[in-house]
């Protein structure tokens, strides 16, 4: 796209849990690039490895193979200590707004923690914290209160403020709205959309809901059992999914408009009927084979390569 240094470049990333016989590969051969200011959605169901990828990028999970480059610097195996130098521009917002804030500290203390570690004076840091709180739609006085005084949505704003306070280049958003109610979810999504425009920051937006991802993202990576199924422009992927898994995912998410939902439901049932032909998964081929509506014999034995189909990358023999 551009010839500037990508914000984040993930190449052939694999992460493995455990060792020896009990080893389990959580993600295999994941590659993607986020350009500065861009939002990449990472979508998948439980067990898809989406959060593992986020943790690997943050340095909370060991990488088995592959590389992670942040602004051109390889940070794949950097310790958290080393990352203070190499990856200080990467921040995170976690899913659970309740366990992500220390109940014993005031919001202000939580926010200024990274600054104080870097030697910023307390008063200056607190002043900055109040500024950032306003930026995320809270009052500056929020700094003096404890997390328990805030609702889930407000806590998530605080978590976003904590990420923003160090002027990051990339924020990993790990399911930031999954625990929220619809109206608060919309508030937080709007806030993130605003920030994505007003701040010079890119997002890696991890979510399980394709439509939520579509609202915020430019590109999307659809994951299943630790592998990329489909990768491309989010509108293309959602409106015309190529991969049978993406099709299943889109058809499964119910829409509140009864007309729209009727169409989705019919598409879903169509996929369910075709699924009946069933090719058994022997663990050597496409991870989606057992649930795939269009699987053929070779799907069970050959892992499909990621290939370009009308501008979108798809990992399917028959897409």
Partner 1 sequence: MSPAKKSKLPHFLKRPGAVLSLVWLAFIVIGSLTAPLWVPFDFAQQNVGFELLTPNSQFLLGTDELGRDIFSRIMVAGAGTIVGATITVLVAFGIGLPAAFVSAQYGGKVEAFFSRFAEVIFALPGLVMILALVGAIGQEKMEPLMVFFGFLISPAVYRVLLGQIISIRQRLYVDAARLNGLSSIRINLRHILPGIWRTVLVQVALIFVAGIGIQAGLSFLGIGPQEPNPSWGAMILQASNLIYFSPWMMVPPGLILVLTVFAANELADVFGEGEAQNSGVKPFSFKDLKGRRRANLPVVEAAPKAANLLELKHLVVGVEGKHELVTDVSLAIRQGEVLGVVGESGCGKTMTALSVIGLLPPGVKVRSGSILLNGIDIADWNEQELNTVRGSEMAYISQEPMVALDPMFTVSHQLVYPLKRIRGLSKAAAKAEALELLRQVGIVNPERVLKSYPHQLSGGMAQRVAIALALTGNPRLLIADEPTTALDVTIQAEILDLLRALVQQRGMGLVIVTHNLGVVADIADQVAVMYAGQVIEAGPVADVLLNPAHPYTSALLGADPHFGADGVMPDRLASIPGAVPPAWEWTSSCRFAARCNFATEICKQPLQEKAAHQGGAVKCMRFGELTLTTTNHGKN
* Residues in region 115-134 near partner 1 by CB under 8 A: 117-118
**5 touching partner 1, by CB under 8 A:** no
Q: Which of residues 45-104 bind partner 1 (CB under 8 A)?
A: 45-46, 58-60, 80-81, 83-84, 88, 91-92, 94-96, 99-102, 104
Q: Does 114 bind partner 1 (CB under 8 A)?
A: yes
Integer Cα distance of 156 and 313 in angstroms? 33
Interface pick for partner 1 out of 125, 170, 173, 212 (rule CB under 8 A) = 212
Site pattern 140..179 for partner 1 (x: CB under 8 A): ------x-xx-x-xx-------x-----------------
Please list, in sequence order, all residues whose beta carbon lies within 8 angstroms of the beta carbon of residue 70, skipping any fewer than 6 positions away.
7, 8, 86, 87, 89, 90, 169, 170
Instruction: Provide CB contacts within 8 A for 274, sequence distance 6+.
Output: 293, 294
- CA–CA separation, 22 and 262 (whole Å): 44
- Neighbour tally for 233: CB within 10 Å: 14
Residue 119 or 283: which CB sits closer to partner 1? Answer: 119
**Ramachandran angles phi, psi of 121, nearest 5°:** -70, 145
CB 47 within 8 A of CB 20: no
Q: What's the min distance (Å) between Cβ of 298 and partner 1? A: 24
- Position 263 contacts partner 1 (CB under 8 A): yes
User: Would you say 4 or 149 has its CB closer to partner 1?
Assistant: 149
Rounded to a whole number of angstroms, the minimum distance from the CB of residue 194 to partner 1 is 8
CA–CA distance, 187 with 308 (Å, rounded to integer): 36
Largest Cα–Cα separation, the chain: 67
Distance between CA atoms of residues 278 and 289, nearest Å = 8
Task: Report the half-sphere exposure of 2 (CA within 13 A, side-chain side).
Answer: 10
Please choose, out of 23-31, 236-244, 297-305, 310-318, the segment that lies near partner 1 by the rule CB under 8 A: 236-244
Pick 274 or 298: Cβ nearer partner 1: 274
Q: Which is nearer to partner 1, 105 or 294 (CB)?
A: 105
| 120, 253, 290, 294: residue in contact with partner 1 (rule CB under 8 A) | 253
Structural contact between residues 121 and 113, judged by C-beta atoms closer than 8 angstroms: no
Least distance (Å) between residue 137 CB and partner 1:
6
By CB under 8 A, name the one of 16, 28, 38, 110 that touches partner 1: 110
């Amino acid at each position: 796209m551009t010839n500037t240094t990508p914000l984040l470049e993930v190449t052939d990333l694999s992460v493995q849990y455990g060792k020896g016989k009990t080893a389990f590969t959580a993600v295999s051969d994941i590659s993607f690039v986020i350009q500065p200011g861009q939002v990449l959605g990472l979508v998948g169901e439980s067990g898809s490895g989406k959060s593992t990828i986020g943790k690997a990028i943050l340095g909370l999970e060991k990488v088995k193979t592959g590389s992670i480059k942040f602004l051109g610097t390889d940070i794949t195996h950097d310790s958290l200590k080393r990352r203070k130098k190499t990856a200080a521009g990467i921040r995170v917002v976690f899913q659970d707004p309740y366990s992500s804030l220390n109940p014993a500290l005031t919001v202000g203390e939580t926010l200024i923690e990274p600054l104080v570690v870097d030697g910023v004076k307390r008063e200056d840091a607190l002043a900055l914290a109040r500024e950032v709180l306003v930026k995320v739609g809270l009052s500056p006085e929020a700094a003096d209160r404890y997390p328990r005084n805030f609702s889930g949505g407000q806590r998530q704003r605080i978590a976003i403020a904590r990420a923003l306070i160090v002027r990051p280049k990339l924020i990993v958003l790990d399911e930031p709205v999954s625990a929220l109610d619809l109206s608060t979810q919309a508030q937080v999504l709007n806030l993130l959309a605003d920030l994505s425009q007003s701040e010079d920051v890119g997002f890696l937006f991890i979510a399980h809901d394709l439509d939520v991802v579509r609202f915020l993202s430019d590109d999307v990576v659809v994951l299943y059992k630790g592998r990329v199924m489909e990768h491309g422009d989010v509108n293309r992927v959602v409106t015309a999914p190529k991969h049978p898994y993406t099709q299943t995912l889109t058809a499964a998410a119910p829409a509140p408009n009864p007309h729209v939902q009727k169409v989705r439901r019919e598409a879903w049932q169509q996929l369910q009927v075709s699924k009946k032909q069933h090719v058994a998964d022997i663990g050597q081929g496409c991870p989606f084979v057992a649930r795939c509506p269009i699987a053929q014999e070779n799907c069970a034995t050959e892992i499909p390569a990621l290939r370009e189909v009308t501008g979108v990358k798809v990992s399917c023999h028959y897409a």
